[in-house]
Amino acid sequence: MRILVVGAGAIGGYFGGRLLQAGRDVTFLVRPKRAEELARDGLVIKSPNGDVTLKNPPTVQADKLNEKFDVVLLSCKAFDLDDAIKSFASTAIIPLLNGMRHIDVLDDIFGKDRVLGGQCGIAATLDENRHVVQLTPAFQSLGFGERDGVMSNRVRAIAENFAAGNIGSQASANIMQDMWEKWVLLTTLASSTSLMRAAVGHILAAPGGRDFILGVRDECIAVAKAADYPPREAFLSRITGMLTTEGSPLTASMFRDIKAGARVEADHVVGDMIARGDAAKVPVPKLRIAYTHLKAYEKQRA
């Protein structure tokens, strides 16, 4: 099975790198600068689960992409999606982007039958040396599946191929539910930690902090319910524990991007949640404050 990983940053670099390490046929679609870095230094993964340096990982650039792949693992940021989708064609596309807005974009271009549902969970970043660094050992997962819940032959084949990578990959018969639940958690965490410029533990220690975090969570849950994807009890219990652990160092990658002066997915993560809330007449006042903050950051950065 030929696998094209779009992007070799923290997400694509980790999951694609682990698959390559396991002997799978992986090629990374990257920009020229990243291709130079990988040719010079290799793909370096630093992880509590084991460090590895993959010398000369196979790469390709958009203008040279004329091969066919069985699976595309779409790991770029949402704001890079338009550029990325011009560069490939495939039998099955697994998007690992945040939020839900990208699904409609991919459907319009490639057709619904070629776009699977997908989501991943990992705390990882690129360090100053452009190495992939996994921040917590137990937190890695990659879910995918047919959006209608059917356990198809292609999903089974992908699951079998990915299993050797030991990346927590799993075929799901409820991938849309999984994606919505991840979006609820991500939007809650990104809105709270980015707005407050602080980790969960510091927000909880501030007056009104607990109420604010849980209020954002409740707004996101209400939007998910209106979309007919009410979060399951096990998920609600888990994220409430994550969001109310005193002293927790947990932050969102969006907050870390702000600290680094990088681009953020304000529209794709928070803005789209608000838009869906508006369409369903669900009030989201706390999300609006967080979104205004993020858009102000974008203006300042520009």
Per-residue pLDDT, 39: 96
Task: Give the angle subtended at the CA of 114 by the CAs of 112 and 119, to the nearest 5°.
Answer: 90
Q: Name residues of the chain where pLDDT drops below 70.
A: 77-90, 137-138
- My answer on whether 193 and 264 are in the same domain is yes
Per-residue pLDDT, 135: 83
Asked about 182 being catalytic, the answer comes back as yes
Per-residue pLDDT, 82: 63
> 147, 172, 197 — which closes off a domain?
172
The torsion region of residue 149 among left (phi > 0), alpha (psi -120 to 50) and beta comes to: left
Per-residue pLDDT, 77: 66
Given 33, 55, 64, 182, the catalytic residue: 182
Domain extent, residue 208, equals 178-301
CATH code of the domain in which 143 resides: 3.40.50.720
Per-residue pLDDT, 83: 64
**pLDDT per position as a tens digit, 253-279:** 899 999 999 999 999 999 999 999 999
8 A C-beta contact, residue 55 and residue 21: no
pTM reported for the whole predicted model = 0.90
- My answer on whether 168 and 184 are in the same domain is no
**pLDDT per position as a tens digit, 139-165:** 789 999 999 999 999 999 999 999 999
Domain count for the chain, please give it.
Answer: 2
CATH code of the domain in which 278 resides: 1.10.1040.10
Per-residue pLDDT, 208: 98
**Could you give the CA distance from residue 265 to residue 219 in angstroms, rounded to a whole number?**
19
